[in-house]
Amino acid sequence: MDQQVTTPMVQMKTTAYIEALPEGKRAELINGRVYDMGATGTAHQRIVHGLDVIIGNYINSNHGKCEVFPAPFAVYINDDKWSYLEPDLSVICASEKIDEKGCHGAPDWVLEVVSPSSRQMDYILKLITYRAAGVREYWIIDPDKQVVLLYHFEGNEYGRQYLFTDDIPVGIYPGFTINIADMMVRR
């Protein structure tokens, strides 16, 4: 007699589930599946804060129309009820995508700082999700490896790897480079 193998059903969640989470509890939602978010460390926060300042200052000094938003900031990446992300940094150039709830659609540039708990998400699942949604540029910043993996999706490039000590070119802003190592030097 053949035994039938069954797989447990994964109950799909919607953004309503994420929005109803208790204060302080954070999670992301990709294609109806919930991914809990762990706490971040000091190096992670230093990088996010430094990039937020550098990118924001660059945009402001060049009278740019884009805005930079650090996490926690809601990104309804496909503008549907099945996906909700909180990238470490989102740069959004289309003001019509932004309202009081967050961003509805793909940001132009997303930067994720890898934590031990987010490694697989940032390198695989989010890479696929951001590319499919129409993000123009995606940076994976890995403090443990001291590298940045940069994807410029508009040019159909494979990822390019840079060291923290490199002047990393920003694809959506020609002529703008960021050196993570310089940024991390405490003054």
64-78: pLDDT as tens digits: 999 999 999 999 999
pLDDT, average across residues 141-167: 91
Mean pLDDT of 18-29: 92
pLDDT for the residue numbered 185: 67
Region 104-128: mean pLDDT is: 93
Contact 161, 149 (CB under 8 A): yes
Closest CA to 59 of 93, 87, 88, 86: 93
- pTM here is 0.91
Q: How far, CA to CA in Å, does 132 sit from each of 17, 128, 177?
A: 23, 6, 26
Least confident stretch, 1-10, 44-53, 75-84 = 1-10
Q: Output the CA–CA distances (angstroms, integers) from residue 158 to 90, 120, 150, in the order listed.
A: 21, 18, 9
